[in-house]
């Protein structure tokens, strides 16, 4: 959401368009990520990440869904997040090179942490605490 603020205060049309794209994308992707985390919490009643190792082995459909959402959050090309962040960075670099560079660094660190968290949850040796995990069904 910092890129939304950056786009708005760049005082350009590109910044405003980027802010609108990012607000729409944030509303969709972040709410879907919260729902995905809630699915895990409803099944296992814990929020500690160390208990969720190897979820892709016991819940492969959940792993695919989570990967799609994490990559959309990390702004892969052809996602609405990518369009908004790219245009916002263009507006930031037009305003100031240093501000654009700092925003780019924050974007890379955020994407790296998202992928790191996905790796900790879905891969690795299966957790001994969560033996009986059922995969997501059609209702979910």
Alpha carbon distance 88, 21 (integer Å): 9
The count of C-alpha atoms lying within 13 angstroms of the C-alpha of 6, restricted to the half-sphere facing its C-beta, is: 27
| Token code pair at residue 89 | 């960075």
Alpha carbon distance 138, 140 (integer Å): 5
The confidence score (pLDDT) of residue 112 equals 94
pLDDT per residue rounded down to tens, the chain (140 residues): 788 998 899 889 999 999 999 999 999 999 999 999 998 888 888 888 888 888 888 888 988 999 999 999 999 998 889 999 999 999 999 999 999 999 999 999 999 999 999 999 888 887 777 767 777 777 77
Alpha carbon distance 38, 30 (integer Å): 12
């Amino acid at each position: 959401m910092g890129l939304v603020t950056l786009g708005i205060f760049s005082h350009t049309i590109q910044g405003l368009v980027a802010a609108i794209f990012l607000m729409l994308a944030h509303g969709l992707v972040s709410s879907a990520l919260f729902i995905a985390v809630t699915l895990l919490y409803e099944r296992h009643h814990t929020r500690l990440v160390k208990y969720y190792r190897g979820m892709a082995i016991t819940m492969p459909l959940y792993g695919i869904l989570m990967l799609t959402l994490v990559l959309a959050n990390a702004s892969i090309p052809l996602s609405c997040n990518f369009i908004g962040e790219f245009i916002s960075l263009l507006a930031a670099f037009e305003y100031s090179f240093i501000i654009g560079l700092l925003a780019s660094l924050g974007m890379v660190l955020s994407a790296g942490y998202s992928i790191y968290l996905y790796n900790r949850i879905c891969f690795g040796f299966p957790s001994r605490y969560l033996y009986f995990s059922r995969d997501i069904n059609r209702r979910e």
